[in-house]
Structure 1
Amino acid sequence: MLEGRSVAGIITSLSNNKKLLKSKKLLEKQNLKDTEGKSSLKEASDEELLQIRKK
């Protein structure tokens, strides 16, 4: 049933996975806060669009 793993190893693995999930969620929240209402992209003019299409 345990397939050669100790119970302590399983518990450690589960707690490490929980820590990784928490840090990922915090990072996603931080990214959402940074991008609310802001756009780092600028509008391209018609001339710039034509130059891009020619390439």
Structure 2
Amino acid sequence: MKWSYKSHLRRKRRKKIRYEVCLSSLLRQAGVYFSYGFGRQVEGVGGKRVRDLSSSE
């Protein structure tokens, strides 16, 4: 009884760890994609602003 319960807990924990790893990897991917897109947007805005300033001067 005790042994089967322990093995059950171990299996549960392993599944939980795998789920957390999947979640963390997904979050990391989303963060990378978001930061990349956000950086590109900021770059475009900054480039426009710089171009406008240089053309007005």
- Which range, TM-score by smaller chain? 0.5 to 0.7
Structure 2: gaps (5+ residues): 1-5, 46-57
Structure 1: gaps (5+ residues): 41-55
Which whole-Å CA distance do the structure 1 matches of 2:12 and 2:19 have between them? 11
SS of 2:41's partner is: coil
CA-atom RMSD, angstroms? Answer: 2.1
TM-score for the superposition, normalised by structure 2: 0.55
Query: Post-superposition shift, 1:38?
Result: 2.1
Which whole-Å CA distance do the structure 1 matches of 2:31 and 2:40 have between them? 16
Q: How many residues align?
A: 37
Which whole-Å CA distance do the structure 1 matches of 2:11 and 2:40 have between them? 46
